[in-house]
Structure 1
Amino acid sequence: MTGITEKTAASVELRAARIPGIVGIIADHYWFVIDKGGEEKVKQRWEVWQNKDAGGQSWHYLHKNLKDWQSGVGNGPSRLEYCWYGLEAQSLIEAIETSPSQYPYVPCYRYWPGPNSNTYVQWVLDQARITEIPGPSAIGKDYLGLIGSKVSRQGLLFSTPVVGAAFSRGKYVIFQLMTLPFGWSMKPFRLLYPGLRLQQNKNR
């Protein structure tokens, strides 16, 4: 019964859609969708957008409900990559709702190397201590400035705009060239490369 209660109380989705133009071959735009449950079933969409104060409720480049929760961004429909429930969803909701005052790049946006929409998504996941990561098409998620490193529950990361590397024992090994990922994941074994879309759709 506890599991049923948790799953009906709240959920957070991670959704993605192809970016318009030729860049959409390898790159996606990611965002979060919050559903707090209850009778109203109102869903909130949170994302960093390329234009400042473009609509909905906004804090510079960070937007809430700029678009419909499942709408793409001009190059086809969106897809569900992950969905979390229970305590993980609550941790994500807290990180997302406090992000207007806590996300360090609210007044800054760059397509490349970042910070961009995918930088924001990865930052929220780090704040909530979530181990899942967006797929290879989330270009910009590993932006840490001109040079940076971090150790998290997701693994080890060294990142620069030119070269980088990410490692998680038993999960993946990734090398980055100009922020583009090349490597492999385990369980199941899979080569990772720019443009690979992983229809992970993992419910937690």
Structure 2
Amino acid sequence: MLYLKIFIIGFICLLLLSFAQSYLSASHSGVTLSGQSWSTARRDSAGIAPDAVAFRNRAIVQVYTAPTFGWRGLVAVHPWIIFKKAGETVYSRYEVVSWGSSNVVRHNYALPDGYWFGATPRLLVDHRGSEAEAMIPHIEAAIKSYPWSHTYRVWPGPNSNTFLAHIGRNVPALRLDLPANAIGKDYRPLRNLIGLPPSGRGVQISLLGILGLTLGAEEGIELNISGLSFGLDVKSPALRLPFTGRMGVDKVINDTSAGG
């Protein structure tokens, strides 16, 4: 009984510390807590994506996340993927958005690297050249096969993070590592409790994204309790925490050396 009490107290303290870190970060940025209207919030380019015209001869695949709009940005992120084939001069951007259409999968809803309603995007994945070219058809196939294109639930999913996790599972070469505060990434239906993690390499056991365990090549070890994820990234040493995502070495999956 004593050990259970210690575990519960430690769990609560970790939650509070993680939330405090997220709150301080949001307060410092002055965006998430500004109370600005979604209609006037910044959505121009953050200047992160390579110029598609200048890099017309190179295939590029990138994945971004940004804090969700308003108070939810304290606890969760919104992700999207962009890509272009060699010879193309514009990006295709795909994500899941809950409002505005019965089909929640959106194409070019916003600029490739645009601020997400005032929040600065963070680059998670950057593949260029022949490797990127080879994975794009698989990404397109994964987008088409997404099983919840007309369903959206903030918690525990399926939502925007479920969509990117689906792509990651189907395209292991992407080496996608969604942060711990990507709520919905671990959503799995009851008929498919065991399978690949979002990185596409490893194993995941998850009950509707509410309770589960992930052992992944990119994720490391992660425990999901009521949609809140805790873990340890061994490959790029960091704690994986709810609200803040990760605390430790910054991580960007980067392969820009291949020709193409």
The bucket for the TM-score relative to the shorter chain is: 0.7 to 0.9
Query: Counterpart of 2:195?
Result: 150
Counterpart residue type for residue 157 of structure 1:
Q
1:52-131 matched pairs, under 5 angstroms: 52-53=100-101, 60-99=103-142, 101-130=144-173, 131=175
SS of residue matched to 2:133: helix
SS of residue matched to 1:125: helix
Counterpart residue type for residue 134 of structure 1:
L
CA distance in structure 2 between the partners assigned to 1:127 and 1:176 by the alignment = 21
SS of residue matched to 1:50: coil
CA distance in structure 1 between the partners assigned to 2:121 and 2:210 by the alignment = 29
Q: Shift in Å at residue 52 of structure 1? A: 4.6
Unpaired runs of 5+ in structure 2?
1-55, 256-260
* CA distances 1:96-130 after superposition (whole Å, capped 9, x unpaired): 32345411111111111111111111111111123
Query: Counterpart of 1:22?
Result: 71
User: Which is higher, the Rg of structure 1 or of structure 2?
Assistant: 2
Unpaired runs of 5+ in structure 1?
1-6, 54-58
Query: Counterpart of 1:12?
Result: 61
Query: Counterpart of 2:211?
Result: 163
SS of residue matched to 1:176: strand
Kept in 2: contact 1:164–1:177 (CA 8 A):
yes
Kept in 1: contact 2:86–2:133 (CA 8 A):
no
CA distance in structure 1 between the partners assigned to 2:184 and 2:131 by the alignment = 24
Kept in 2: contact 1:88–1:128 (CA 8 A):
no
Counterpart residue type for residue 190 of structure 1:
A
Kept in 2: contact 1:92–1:125 (CA 8 A):
no
Kept in 2: contact 1:100–1:106 (CA 8 A):
no
Q: Shift in Å at residue 145 of structure 1? A: 2.0
Query: Counterpart of 1:182?
Result: 230
Kept in 1: contact 2:201–2:217 (CA 8 A):
no
TM-score, length-scaled by structure 1: 0.82
TM-score, length-scaled by structure 2: 0.66
Q: Shift in Å at residue 30 of structure 1? A: 0.3
Q: 1:170 to 1:80 in 2, by over 3 A?
A: closer
Q: 1:67 to 1:30 in 2, by over 3 A?
A: same
Kept in 2: contact 1:136–1:197 (CA 8 A):
yes
Q: Percent identity?
A: 28
1:33 to 75, 82, 97: 82
Q: 1:71 to 1:185 in 2, by over 3 A?
A: same
* CA distances 1:35-54 after superposition (whole Å, capped 9, x unpaired): 2243x52111111111253x
SS of residue matched to 1:89: helix
Which one has a larger percent strand, Structure 1 or Structure 2? 1
Query: Counterpart of 1:4?
Result: none
| Structure 1 residue runs of 4 or more that deviate by more than 4 Å after TM superposition | none
Query: Counterpart of 2:11?
Result: none
